[in-house]
Amino acid sequence: MHNATPIISGSILLRVLAIGASTFYLVSAGAIVVADDGALEGRRHRIVVSSDIGGTDPDDVQSMVHLLIYADSLDIEGLVSSPYGQGRKEHIMQVIDAYGHDLPNLKTYSDKYPTPDALRALCKQGAIDTPGDSGVGESTEGSDWIIQCAKREDSRPLNVLVWGGIDDLAQALRDAPEILPKLRVYFIGGPNKKWSVDAYNYIEQNHPYLWIIEANATYRGWFVGGNQKGEWNNKEFVAKHIAEHGALGDFFVNAKDDIKMGDTPSVARLLHGTPEDPSQPGWGGKYVPIWDGRKTIFDRLTTEADTAEVFGVTEFALPKPDDFSAQNTASMIFDGGVPASKGVIEGDVLRFRFSPRDAKVWSYVIKSDFAGLDGKSGKFEAVSPPITRTGRRSTVHPNWWIDDPDPAVAEGVHPGAKSVNRWREDFLRDFAGRMDRCQSARSGDVAARRSRPMRWGSDYLKRSPDWYKSAEAQAIAENVLLYQSTEGAWPKNVDMNSPATPEVLAQVVADGKANTIDNDGTTVPMRFLALMADATNQEKYKKSFVRGLDYLFAAQYDNGGWPQFFPLRPRGYYSHITYNDDAMMSVMFLLREVAAGQAPYTFVDEGRRDKAAEAVRRGIDCILKTQIKQDGKLTVWCAQHDEVTLAPAWARNYEPPTLSGSESVGIVRFLMDIEDPTPDEVAAIEGAVAWFEAVAIHGLRYQHIRTAEGLPDGVVVVDPSAGPLWARFYEIGSNRPVFTGRDRVIHYSLDEIERERRGGYAFYGNWAASLLAKDYPRWQAKHKTSTSP
């Protein structure tokens, strides 16, 4: 339902050059492209929501309804109640109760919707009372939960969406400052900031490197401006698309019968846009780097001639009267509203802190039991900052983002709001489609499409044991049997759900897809048939598997390697020893399991199990002989090696003879699984790990995007918080990342090759991240090896 039109922005692309183990960044003005890395494009984002639902504003109820109908597309890890007034986590659970009523319908659209009990388990109580003038105090169930989520072993950042006060986040950062690099915070500031100005001040002063979007007014674009005609009008939309749409629809309308949903842009930016880059446009708005000088301190009572920045922090550091003590109280009341700013003694100063939410003249009066202060009053004007200030990025808060002050994107007095409401029809249309799910179950031809078998692939190896006894499984297995060639192998890139008619089989051969271990071409069908044999004990599945096993034995070179295709082709790179796309390693893993006689391969005879063990031994010998040395040190492998000389070799024009940052990971994992490794095998592992550590690229994020014309592309951008990356290809001898297009010319910068290859191939990845962080330490502990050199 959503509009996947490419998003356009004026951001700058980064050109990356790598020399040796060092990476340098050159900024070049150029193409204007933006990725859509949102959840609606399949990227799952981790989120914790901190909400004042049940407290000061019904919009949190509406935003919670919106969040839950997108719960199948997001990984919700926490729902924290951070109230003002009477709001508690029970108010979140009331929305979950409504969700539970609609879940049977929702499940017909997606099986990824969480259960109500799973969501209830994520509900935590946050700060009920303000922590005091320091901004932090005692830990809460909510702040502890934020810490726990942030410390989970997950390479993805944790998005903390703050819909109310920011107290629980401040407390979490105070209690566990080490979680800061993992966090991506979206704070609905503006009116919420006045309730937790001390916590905000604490974060700003003590955690300047926090990655945070401070949306003081941009969020208003969700309900202010944009197309308000007909069904897109705030009230008309609710009447047509929300009311009488399940229990969630009723809950939404009971809170407010028109659109408010002021917190929803925090979720919307994760649905459609580029969440890691706030400068890019998307449903949640577009933001700019924050500037310095947003805090104003007055040492006296002010007049209307005095100014402070709107949405900033305004402090009154008044001289403390001599007789004023800690037993006295004083509060500054702004425009007769709440909350009052409590006076705090700081040495010889009595300090009051406030955040003005509107650009206007503010009046205040001091209420105190100290006669010399009671009734004192003043005024000041909250103003927008001058362009001379907003045009200079903060030197203190490098990862802090805020509303765009450009008048062109303001909606009336609300800066940045047009960067949200420009998408109004798109996000409301998608929202309406989601609310339709609550109203009725999926039916008709849509449900029929849903019931069709999933596309052939390794997912068929992950079904429940009983499924392999089903008629559906046996129908697919019949196709798999028919796709097996006379040589005993299977083709690649073929949907084996489709009937293997003579015409289809002839086309497989004509297209050059037959008899290969590439892209799981033979190993996945073999594993599938083994599962079928184990479940049904049918001989035809066993015989087919054994024929495949004999094919793998025949295809192995005397030196232990495997070609991509067998029988061998007369020309091309297909005869090379092929580690590319884990082709050879998929064979090695399978044969090792067969040799061990473990389920589901118990039907394989002893003679073939012995042959499998010997094939694995020869394969390991090939691995050790093809490992590349630099300056006498073992490193990693090329994606393919010459079958005679064992030297690194070319494959396709854009796959040069290099050190592989991708395929080498699978090889190392295989070696780590050896129960009793030899000294040579240990050395191979240690050498590869040391190389991976040495060439890891930090501070970069790699993403596939769409250009303004809607064409796929790939870019790298600077992101100090990004996890380590590895290039697909490293130059042998220098360890410089290299990039090659279809012209076979080596380049040292990704943007120097053609867009088609940049957008159609994975030139960077986090391939070795878990190998270094998890697998290698476990292997070291098991074998009590020394650390890598």
Report the residue count for the chain. Answer: 789
Pairing relationship of beta strands 46-51 and 75-81 according to DSSP bridges: parallel
Rounded CA separation 672/588 (Å)? 13
CA 159 – CA 45 distance, rounded (Å)? 7
As a whole number of angstroms, the longest Cα–Cα distance in the chain is 101
Active-site entry in 15, 156, 463, 652 = 652
Check 201, 234, 421, 519 and give the catalytic one: 519
Q: Would residue 652 show up in a list of annotated catalytic residues for this protein?
A: yes
CA distance 34 to 278: 11
DSSP class of 385: P
DSSP letter, residue 411: B
- The answer to whether 213 touches 287, Cβ cutoff 8 Å, is yes
Nearest partner of 355 among 170, 163, 187, 198, judged by Cα = 198
Helix (H, G, I), strand (E, B) or coil at 587: helix
CB neighbours of 613 closer than 8 A, spacing ≥ 6? 591, 595
Q: Which tokens belong to 111?
A: 């099986």
Q: Which string of DSSP letters, residue by residue, matches 162-188?
A: ESS--HHHHHHHHH-GGGGGGEEEEEE
- At 722, list the tokens: 């990004």
In this structure, the dihedral spanned by the alpha carbons of residues 385, 388, 391 and 392, taken in order and rounded to 10 degrees, is -100
Residue 158 β-bridge partners? 46, 183
CA distance linking residue 701 with residue 703, whole number of Å: 7
Alpha carbons 700 and 728: distance in angstroms, whole number: 15
Rounded (10°) CA dihedral 282, 283, 284, 286: 30
What does the alpha-carbon distance between residue 579 and residue 575 come to, in Å, rounded to a whole number? Answer: 12
Instruction: Quote the tokens at residue 292.
Output: 């310095």
Residue 652 one-letter amino acid: R
Q: Check if 497 is active-site.
A: no
Handedness of CA 409, 184, 67, 339 (dihedral sign): negative
| Rounded CA separation 318/322 (Å) | 12
| Number of Cβ atoms within 10 Å of the Cβ of 250 | 18
Cβ atoms 714, 727 nearer than 8 A: no
Tokens representing 521 are 């071409």
Select from 733, 549, 541 the least CA-distant residue to 656: 733
Residue with tokens 């580690």: 579
Active site residues: 519, 652
